[in-house]
């Protein structure tokens, strides 16, 4: 089934345009919307997952859970869906704390997007995680320093943005 996305303007207003996600190219003033989740356990460690080797981009790299906002969906609905699908966590009844938003503009490749980063503090262990096979092959709870080491190795996605998001909490 073809996944559709809504196209937004820079102020996050729906433009009225809905397009297939696959091969979507955004023009000037057009943006896709994505979400990421920083999920911390009671000790403050962050849940990270290792991307499937089948991924066409950054296969085998580590990341926090997230994904694209589907057509007709809000950012909040998307983060709840992504966490349920990718790691099996139901956060529908938890407060949704959006801690950071950033935008990317790359007109040459049509890769314009806005990303909302949410933070959850949950009482869980890795035994509570159920990975979606097509998305991830492993998960672990990592300290910020451990994540920074993966980033230094060039195998952790979105590190600078996660670092900025967490700095905003201090």
What's the pLDDT score for residue 2?
Answer: 87
Which residues in the chain show pLDDT less than 50?
none
pLDDT of residue 129: 97
Task: Provide the whole-model pTM.
Answer: 0.94
Q: Residues 87, 63: contact at Cβ < 8 Å?
A: no
Predicted confidence (pLDDT) per residue in 119-158, tens digit? 999 999 999 999 998 889 999 999 999 999 999 999 999 9
Tens digit of each residue's pLDDT (9 = 90 or more) over 147-158? 999 999 999 999
Count of C-beta atoms within a 10 Å radius of residue 2? 6
Residues 6+ apart with CB under 8 A from 10: 29, 31, 103
CATH of 4-159, one of 3.80.30.20, 3.90.79.10, 3.40.50.620, 3.20.20.10: 3.90.79.10
**DSSP symbols for 70-108:** PTT--HHHHHHHHHHHHH----TTS--EEEEEEEE--TT
pLDDT at position 170: 63
Per-residue pLDDT, 133: 86
CB neighbours of residue 156 within 10 Å: 22
- Kindly state the tokens that stand for 6: 């809504």
Give the closest residue to 120 by CA, choosing from 33, 47, 34.
Answer: 47
Q: Which two tokens stand for residue 74?
A: 């809000």
């Amino acid at each position: 089934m073809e996944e559709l996305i809504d196209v937004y303007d820079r102020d996050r207003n729906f433009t009225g345009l809905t397009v297939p996600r696959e091969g979507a190219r955004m023009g000037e003033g057009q943006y896709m919307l994505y979400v990421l989740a920083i999920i911390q356990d009671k000790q403050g460690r962050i849940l990270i997952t290792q991307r499937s080797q089948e991924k066409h981009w950054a296969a085998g790299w580590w990341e926090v859970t997230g994904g694209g906002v589907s057509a007709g969906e809000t950012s909040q609905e998307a983060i709840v869906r992504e966490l349920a699908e990718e790691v099996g966590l139901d956060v529908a009844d938890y407060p949704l704390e959006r801690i950071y938003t950033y935008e990317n503009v790359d007109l040459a490749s049509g890769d314009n997007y806005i990303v909302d980063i949410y933070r959850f503090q949950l009482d869980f262990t890795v035994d509570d995680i159920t990975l979606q096979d097509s998305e991830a092959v492993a998960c672990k709870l990592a300290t910020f320093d451990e994540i920074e080491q993966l980033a230094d190795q060039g195998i952790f996605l979105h590190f600078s943005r996660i670092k900025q998001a967490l700095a905003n909490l201090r």
